Amino acid sequence: MSKEELILVKLGGSVITFKHRPFYEDLDTIKRLAREIKEARDEKDFRLIVGHGGGSYPHIPAKQYETFKGVIDEKSYEGIAKVQDAASRLNRIIVGELIDAGVNAVSFHLSSSCIAENGVIKKIFLDPLKKLLDFNMVPVPYGDVCLDLKKGCCILSTEMILTYLAKTFIETEKKYKVSRIIMCTDVGGVFTDDPKKNLHAELIPKITPDNFDEIVAYVKGSLAVDVTGGMLHKVKSLLELAKLGIESEIIDGKKPGMLKRALLGEKGLGTLITKD
Ligand code: ADP
């Protein structure tokens, strides 16, 4: 029996929120992306997981309470509650818009299904997520606070979650084959320098394990309020998957039509991250 195609998408915090304005989502963009997902699924048969970042929602309390450091004092518990609340409030907006567009989306909370150890995912209870895929529904995980066996708590980025899922699907899953990962961000891919600051920055069309070291010298972390973000984190996570044979592409989610085209299989829309 041939495996069903499974695509993992990340809607970056920079696409779905205005990163420098606390608790401010870009509703027009969220609605459009939800429509593009619906249209692509109407045209082509594939299973889908849509993860998303937190942008200006959880990163403010996460920074204030230093949640990424773990449970460091009595205030940390208040921090865990507030970060979870902020992240899941944005999640409800995304899921609500997907449902309005006709996509049967369901929230998938890592804060209540996952345990980490020293900031690394140790185990996720994936049975419900797999069941949703069996129903051809769309699970929606997101960057979230996670309980941690060593540190008490940590922050999981969407990249960490999607990487874990992709690896698990390679190792254990009989029904679904992860065909590609699509990362929507607010720039056209990885550039030789931050394209928002340097107008002469050039797009790097392809990153492989061979040219990564050379490129890393150029790629700088995003300077926005973001405890787990930045381009480098994205590229490193995706390169790990490229080595396992999963191709991914970083595209501009603010540009209408890009996500739909990527979902329908078009390549070369941004920066491709691949084995060779
Ligand atoms: P997201 O929230 O979409 O996951 P991030 O904010 O973590 O994305 O990273 C994307 C940001 O990285 C872009 O908005 C861009 O300003 C910044 N950036 C820094 N260096 C680069 C680079 N070399 N190429 C592309 N983007 C870069």
| pLDDT per residue as tens digits for the range 131-145 | 999 999 999 999 999
- Residue with the smallest CA separation from ligand 1 atom 11 is 222
Other Cβ atoms less than 10 A from the Cβ of 172: the count is 9
Q: What is the pLDDT of residue 193?
A: 83
Tally of CB atoms within 10 A around 187: 24
* Mean pLDDT, residues 172-198 taken together: 91
Reported as a pLDDT band with limits 50, 70 and 90, residue 224 is very low
CA dist., res. 221 & res. 143, Å (int): 18
Rounded average pLDDT over 152-176: 93
pLDDT tier at 230, thresholds 50, 70, 90:
confident
Give mean pLDDT, residues 217-236: 67
In angstroms, what is the span from residue 194 Cα to ligand 1's centroid? 7
- Which atom from ligand 1 is nearest to the alpha carbon of 184? 3
Which residue has the least CA distance to atom 9 on ligand 1?
230
Compute the radius of gyration of the chain from its Cα atoms: 18
Handedness of CA 46, 159, 57, 224 (dihedral sign): negative
Sheet with 206-207: list strands edge to edge.
Answer: 47-52, 4-11, 176-185, 247-252, 271-273, 206-207
Number of residues that make up the chain: 276
Give the pair of three-digit tokens for residue 226: 């973001």
Share of the chain above pLDDT 70, in %: 95
Residue 169 CA, ligand 1 centroid: distance in Å: 27
* C-alpha distance across the termini of the chain, in Å: 28
Mean pLDDT of the chain: 93
pLDDT at 19: 84
Q: Global pTM?
A: 0.95
Highest averaged pLDDT of the listed ranges 47-61, 102-116, 167-181: 102-116
**pLDDT per residue as tens digits for the range 98-139:** 999 999 999 999 999 999 999 999 999 999 999 999 999 999
Which protein residues touch ligand 1 with a CB less than 6 Å away? Answer: 12-15, 53, 55, 185-187, 190-191, 193-196, 218-220, 222, 224, 226, 229-231
Q: Are 149 and 226 in contact (CB under 8 A)?
A: no
Counting from 1 in the atom list of ligand 1, the atom nearest the Cα of 221 is 19
Q: What is the CA(20)–ligand 1 centre distance, in A?
A: 14
Q: What are phi and psi of 32, to 5 degrees?
A: -65, -45
pLDDT tens digits, 144-162: 999 999 999 999 999 999 9
Q: Which atom of ligand 1 lies nearest, measured to the CA of 13?
A: 2
Cα angle 232, 237, 240 (rounded to 5 degrees) comes to 125
pLDDT exceeds cutoff 70 at 225: no
Query: In sequence order, which residues have a C-beta less than 8 Å from that of residue 171 and are 6 or more positions away?
Result: none
pLDDT band at 227 (very low <50, low <70, confident <90, very high): low
SS (H, E, C) 23-67: CCECHHHHHHHHHHHHHHHHHCCCEEEEEECCCCCCHHHHHHCCH
Separation of CA 131 and ligand 1 centre (Å):
34
Residue 241's pLDDT band (boundaries 50, 70, 90)? Answer: very high
Residue 154 · residue 116 · CB < 8 Å: yes
Does the pLDDT of residue 16 top 90, yes or no? yes
For residues 50 and 234, the model is more confident at 50
